[in-house]
Structures are given as structure tokens and as C-alpha cells.
Amino acid sequence: MDGGVDEEVSLVGLTEDMGVNAVLFGFVGLYALTFPGRVRACYLVGSHATSEAVGESDLDLTLVFKDTFLPGEEARFERFRMAVGPLARYPLDLNAVEEARLVAEGEVNLKQNALLIAGEDVRDRVPLMPLEAWTRHCMHQPYRFIERARARAEDAPLRYPLEYPDARGELYGYDYREVMDAQGQLHRGFKELVTLACRMATAAVALDAGRHTFSKRDAIQAHREHIHDTWTPLFESIFASRQQWGYRVPEDAAARAKLREACARMLDAENAFLARYRDFLLAEVTRGRVEDRVLAARRLGDIAYPGDEVPQALQQLLESPEPVDAALREAARESLARYRGVKPS
């Protein structure tokens, strides 16, 4: 079979949940039909791979495409991802990656904390991602969860310091996204809160302790071991809520009150992270690969920080006597324009 899932559909690895295994079998069959001969391996990552799943956990699946993507293959995978998701009993989080990229750049979770579902295991050829690249990845992750929790006008940047997603809500708006159980029923949930807490813990451990972490639990434990600051008890409390109630908002009033206390503190944790993120981004725009500098310049336009430090840094990029890549210059110009469009609070 040339190391891929090309003909007969079979599972190399199984979870302890037969319902999950049934979904995985069907998924392997679908991608084998859609991408014949192109998938080197399929991995289950995340909590189902580490036996830490709760009732509303996603099935996180990564397809490793042989060598590099063929023309149009990424777009076809995106259409496939959108079509397959509604068919599964469990929420699916599907990703695709090139084999060549894994070998060249390394990985963390897939290498250390994944279950091979089908195909040929390539992890012995995949290095652990260098710490600098891992730290950069981790520092950018929390922003995704912070920004999508907050409604605002299209293309409007976040305004720092943040306010609660919903100051009048029982959980201050951190229950903004529902979760789905294995029967397809939607429930009021706080999964995004848990993920954000773990992402911030992961970023702090990478930046301050120089350590890779491989799961939500590992991140929380490493934060206590290596950081142990004012946010450690908050992150531990949020993770413990996941262990106790899954991702559903509990019906018991006392339990909801406990969760509300954690949500009340989360705003300060987000603002503390964003303050460090600003310093990280200001350093990033001056160093490293062009694509990393471009991302930092764009992200500086996504968050409206008070004061002149950020706009001055962007202006310096535009006025630099040294050669500046055209994409970096354009990112700085667009971010500076967004800054200038923000009315003072």
C-alpha cells in the first residue's frame, strides 16, 4: 500500500471507546476515497489520544499528506473538512499537514502525544520542534480565543485593556460557545475558557521555563512546577472544572457559582497575557524570518494598545533606512492605519 491508506480500510490504533472507533473507521474510509494514495498517515491527537477526554471533547485528527501538497489539494481538504464534520457523532477538529514540513520544522503534540490511527507512522523522522519556534507558536495561540469571544465591528481591533465578553452574563460571557455531546445535543458550555487557560499556561511555560508541554494536563502541571505565579491557582481551578463537569455548564447553583468565580478572574489573566504579548510582538517585528515578522506586524494591528510605543515601532518599520521586505512594510502600513482609525477611549 506504499505506506498510505490506499485500498483496504483498517485501523492501526484503537481508543478505549468503541463509539469513537466506529467514527474513526468511517473517517478513514472517507478520506481514503477522497484522497486516494495521498495520505501517509492519520493521527488522533488531543484528549482522546491521551485518555483524558470528557463527554464533549472533540476528536482531533491530523492527516499527513505524502511529501508536499499537490496543486489545489489544500482547498480540496478544506471542502472535505467542512463536508465531513456534520456527519460524525462527535465534534471533529480536522487538520492536514505536509510530510515534508513535519520533517523540516518538527512537531510537538503529534510527535509526543498522538495515536496512529491509519497508515505509516512517520514520527521517528519528525524532530521535536525547536524551542524558539515552539515558543512563538504558543505565544500566538491565546489571541485566537481571546478575540473570538468578543463581538465588535468588522475589522475593528481589540481594545486593550479588555473588558469581559459579556459583563452582564452569569459567566461574564465565557460560555459564549455551546458544546455538543456524543448524541448530537447542544449544551451551554465553557470549553473555550478551558482551552484559553491551558493555552496561556502553555505559553508561559514555553517563554519563561523553556519547556515543551504535550497536553492540557501537562501544561497545567508544568505551570505549577515551573511558574507558580498568581495565575496558577486560576488555571488549575478551570482545568479541575473540566475534570468535574466536562465542558458543560453545571446545573447545580453552587457549582455554577464556583465557575463564575473563575470567570471573574479570567479577565485580569487575559490582560496580563496581552501585556506580555505586546512586548513579545514588538521584539518579533525586529528579528527572525520575514513571515514571523509579518505575522507580528499584523497582530500589532489587531490589538489597540494605549500609548505611542506600538505605532512608533510600526512607523520605524516604514521609515527604516535598511531594506525592508515588501510584505513586512505592507503589514506595518495596514496595522498603523488601523491604529490611527481607533478613537481614543
Lowest mean pLDDT among 44-58, 166-180, 237-251: 44-58
Nearest to 39 by CA among 49, 31, 27: 31
Look up the domain containing 109 and give its range. 18-125
Say whether both 42 and 110 belong to one domain. Answer: yes
Say whether both 72 and 101 belong to one domain. Answer: yes
The answer to whether position 177 is within a domain reads yes
Please give the grid coordinates belonging to residue 9: 480500510
The answer to whether position 325 is within a domain reads no
Domain count, the chain: 2
Say whether both 164 and 67 belong to one domain. Answer: no
Q: Are 23 and 88 in contact (CB under 8 A)?
A: yes
User: pLDDT, tens digit, for every residue of 176-198?
Assistant: 999 987 777 889 999 999 999 99
The answer to whether position 316 is within a domain reads no
Q: Among 69, 101, 125, identify where a domain stops.
A: 125
Q: Are 231 and 209 in contact (CB under 8 A)?
A: no
Say whether both 137 and 251 belong to one domain. Answer: yes
Say whether both 278 and 140 belong to one domain. Answer: yes
Q: How many beta carbons lie within 10 A of that of residue 89, not counting itself?
A: 16
Query: What gap in Å lies between CA 210 and CA 5, rounded to an integer?
Result: 37
Say whether both 162 and 276 belong to one domain. Answer: yes
**Average pLDDT, rounded, for the chain:** 93
Query: What gap in Å lies between CA 302 and CA 306, rounded to an integer?
Result: 13
Say whether both 276 and 144 belong to one domain. Answer: yes
Say whether both 111 and 176 belong to one domain. Answer: no
Q: What is the mean pLDDT of residues 242-254?
A: 95
Please give the grid coordinates belonging to residue 43: 493521527
Where are the extended beta strands (E) located within the chain?
39-45, 59-65, 92-98, 115-119, 158-159, 179-180, 186-187, 303-304
pLDDT surpassing 70 at residue 62 = yes
pLDDT bracket for residue 88 (50, 70, 90): confident
The set of long-range contacts for 305-311, using a CB threshold of 8 Å and a minimum separation of 24, is: 305/160, 305/278, 306/160, 306/345, 309/278, 309/282, 310/278, 310/282, 310/339, 311/336, 311/339, 311/340
Rounded to whole angstroms, what are the CA distances from 171 to 251, 268, 295?
13, 15, 32
Say whether both 146 and 70 belong to one domain. Answer: no
Q: What is the mean pLDDT of residues 290-301?
A: 97
Q: How many beta carbons lie within 10 A of that of residue 196, not counting itself?
A: 25
DSSP assignment letter at 215 = S
Q: Please, what is the Cα angle at 103 between 30 and 3, to 5 degrees?
A: 40
The predicted model scores a pTM of 0.92
Q: What is the mean pLDDT of residues 71-84?
A: 96
Say whether both 74 and 175 belong to one domain. Answer: no
Q: What is the mean pLDDT of residues 69-79?
A: 97
Please give the grid coordinates belonging to residue 29: 474510509
The answer to whether position 71 is within a domain reads yes
Residue type at position 189: G
Lowest mean pLDDT among 4-18, 156-170, 195-209: 4-18
User: pLDDT, tens digit, for every residue of 8-49?
Assistant: 667 888 888 888 899 999 999 999 999 999 999 999 998 888
User: pLDDT, tens digit, for every residue of 204-244?
Assistant: 999 999 999 999 999 999 999 999 999 999 999 999 999 99
pLDDT bracket for residue 158 (50, 70, 90): very high
Say whether both 88 and 179 belong to one domain. Answer: no
Say whether both 42 and 57 belong to one domain. Answer: yes
Q: What's the pLDDT at 345?
A: 54
